Amino acid sequence: MNKALLMYFAGAISMLSQAMAAEQSILLKDTVSTQGSGSIDLFNALIQQNNPTAATLENLRAENNNSLVLAVDVNEAANGTEKASSQGVAVESVTLTVVSDGNTFTFTDFSTPTQSLLAKAGQTDRTLFYTLIGRTGSSSLTSNTGWEGTSFDAVLTIPVNVSLENATSVVVEITFLETNTSLGDPEAFYDFTAGPEDLAMLSQTDAATLTEEAPGQDEAPLVITQNQIGSETDSWVYYPSSVEYYVAAYEDNYPVKSDYDFNDLVVGYRVGYGMTGQQVTSLIVYGYMIARGSGYTHDWHLHIGLPDAASGTGTLNLFKPDSAEQESGYPQTFSLTGSFDKRLLQGTKSLMRSPSSEFANTEIDIDLIKGHKFSVAFDFDTPIEISSISLPPYDPYLYVQNTGYEIHLPEYASRLGSSVNNAEAIGGFKNEQGYPFAIIIPEDWEPPLEREDLGGVYTTFLEFVTSNGEQEDAWYNAPAQDKIKQIGKAFWKWD
């Protein structure tokens, strides 16, 4: 036998030996209880004959790049948007305690493939937490001894930088986050309500398989944008709040007052800042199309004033109505220098189309439809002071493709060099009587029906305008009920 053939057989035998020596995943006896916490003894398998040795744990740690990797069977009741195909919990803390050679080692670092911004019970400010997402049904993993009839969904990784070869005790404490479910989603989705959640220690092969499969993640709320943020953050600050949206409404016949029904385009949006100390490291935007009552088509932009030296990169997402699927061509990456000024919706007429009308959500006898959702994740190259950012509600503006005009709130100037009114100064976006063509109102506001003048629907609006905003500043609270399209924020905020 020649030398090359001998080397081939030696290599094959070596590979076979390694494959035979590879550890199998181990289903564990201890669980995370319905109270949302659990103490899991990693030496204690569900089937006693499968109890691992210290050498087994060390082999699993070594093949997973010096980490122990756990699988979690997410077993949650359907709250918020949770359902059989997508359900989740958030993890507040993980502590791994190892006793070896008379020494005790504690590890608290951990990670999962997904994160979300969530408010803890009793709070409204959202911070970033790791999440575990899964689905009801069979496991994506190959069945091994002890796995029959058990499904696993999520992966939790704990870095361990000491050998476990001589360990006499290895215990992991897991505590799920108690979320403020009164806020609705995403908190209601990531609460813990059922259980118990089963666990297993994963081999490298099973860990890779489960991570790639990512069961339930496509339908889970507030996952994609948060994972697109790369900056380290301590907390998040939202405008108008962590649970509310500004509503921007437009009359798109500018500079002509026209029917003044202010439903030509209606958009809900909010802005969040990722904070490290007192500095802003990232920016996120969420928004929805609410109504489109125009024969024109538009592009919708959001301008947030920033220092000239500010710069960064971002991702724009555009989701199909009531879906986790993005439109063709999205997500899109982009870079900006100076102010944040980005077109977030393009071609509104084609984006929001009713099957039975030219308009969407503005006619009395036509069924409501849901609009597109958009989101932005933007990381600053260098942190900036929050005091250097322009004040909310910022400058959400419209470009009307049919007429070539851009439309801003009165306190802003035009920005697009290509628009018909590119020299419009601050205060120019009113007619001679002082009527604006763009307004910002709270999210409870309902738009007028088609061709119903805003002043006739909200009867104190005229006094608000003629007093230059000094009187009747809550004009939007008292509509004529038979002249509005009752869309409701619970409908248009579909995720």
Chain segment 429-477, per-residue pLDDT in tens: 999 899 999 999 999 999 999 999 999 999 999 999 999 888 999 999 9
The whole-number pLDDT of residue 3 equals 44
**Stretch 54-64: mean pLDDT, rounded?**
96
* The two structure tokens encoding residue 409: 């709130």
pTM over 0.85: no
The residues facing 19 across adjacent strands are none
Residue with tokens 């030296």: 309
Strand partners, 458: 479
Distance CA 303, CA 398 (A): 11
The amino acid occupying position 138 is: S
Is pLDDT at 18 greater than 80 in this prediction? Answer: no
Q: State the pLDDT at residue 12.
A: 42
Q: What integer pLDDT is reported at residue 9 of this predicted model?
A: 37
pLDDT of residue 226: 64
Reply yes or no on whether the pLDDT at 71 is more than 80.
yes
**pLDDT-derived band at 134, boundaries 50, 70, 90:** confident
Give domain limits for the chain.
26-223, 235-492
pLDDT of residue 126: 75
Residue 94 has pLDDT above 90, yes or no: yes
**Of 143, 171, 150, 154, nearest in space to 57 by CA:** 171
pLDDT at res. 407: 97
The Cα 32–Cα 196 span in angstroms is: 6
CA distance linking residue 251 with residue 400, whole number of Å: 10
Distance CA 429, CA 255 (A): 8
- CA 109 – CA 100 distance, rounded (Å): 19
Range of weakest confidence among 131-140, 321-330, 388-397: 131-140
Average per-residue pLDDT in the chain? 88
CB contact at 8 A, 270 and 285: yes
- Other C-beta atoms closer than 10 Å to the C-beta of 172 total 24
Q: Name all contacts of 275-279 with Cβ < 8 Å and 24+ positions apart.
A: 275/233, 275/234, 275/235, 275/236, 275/237, 275/386, 276/231, 276/232, 276/233, 276/234, 276/383, 277/234, 278/385, 278/386, 279/383, 279/384, 279/385, 279/386
Tell me the CA end-to-end span of the chain in Å, nearest whole number: 67
Q: Which of 13-27, 186-200, 307-321 has the highest mean pLDDT?
A: 307-321
Longest dimension (CA), the chain: 101
Give the confidence band of 95 by pLDDT, cuts at 50, 70, 90: very high
Does the pLDDT at position 100 exceed 60? yes
